[in-house]
Amino acid sequence: MRSMLIRRTAVTAAALGLALTAAAPAVAHTTAARTNAPVLVRLTVQGPDGNLFKGLVLTKGHEVTTATGGTHKCDGTNGAQNPSPVPTPTAALDDAARQRHFGWDGTWYASFDDFSVDTVKNVSGGGTAYWNISVNGASTPVGGCQFKIKTGDEVAFTWTSF
């Protein structure tokens, strides 16, 4: 009788272990589906004569429209960099511009599947400078619509001469 009880307990424990193991992927899948949840980042836009913008921005990946570039996705899936939409530096710039009522413009490059930021608050790089994008002090290795950002990141667009 006692050995039967021990065997039944072992079978129950094994079944419970299998059930918990089988449930784990469902939890992971739910987390992955929320990759484009809004994040809060600190955004700085540094022009040649000082800060053009500095503040907190709540953002997530979304379509971006510029006068020069038109409307395109800017959600991290650009250039197949991320498998699902995520928040990005250029989306953060776009959200800050809409929330704080300042302008920016950028050219769309289909070959890169991304925007080039050309002008922020009427400050243009022209032929002598460009807008460098960095996250946490490091230049992004991909475009601003391709790089994934997360809550707490320091995102900067810095006017940089050639």
pTM (whole model) above 0.95: no
Nearest to 116 by CA among 138, 98, 93, 136: 93
CATH architecture, domain defined by 35-161: Beta Complex (2.170)
CA-to-CA distance for 114 and 146, rounded, in angstroms?
A: 7
To the nearest whole number, what is the mean pLDDT of the chain? Answer: 85
The band of 112, judged by pLDDT with boundaries at 50, 70 and 90, is: very high
State residue 33's pLDDT score.
53
